[in-house]
Amino acid sequence: MKKITVPFFISHQGCPHTCIFCDQRTISGSSGDMPTAEAILSKIGTWQRTAGERPLEV
């Protein structure tokens, strides 16, 4: 059974840092607002429901 790996580093959706190697703030125009714990849990729940019987790694 093939496992599903869910990448959870979404720099333009909450990263407040300005790392020299990452240009997402300029590209996306994001203010770096952090997602709430509820929003993160909701997203993980969605991935779990769509994974079916396949293993899920977050």
Q: What is the pLDDT at residue 31?
A: 62
Residue spans of the domains in the chain: they are: 4-57
Q: What is the pLDDT at residue 42?
A: 93
Q: Kindly give the confidence (pLDDT) of every residue in the chain, 58 residues in length, as a single tens digit, with 9 standing for 90 and above.
A: 787 777 665 555 556 777 788 776 676 666 666 778 898 899 889 988 888 888 877 7
Q: What is the pLDDT at residue 38?
A: 94
d(CA 9, CA 54): 21
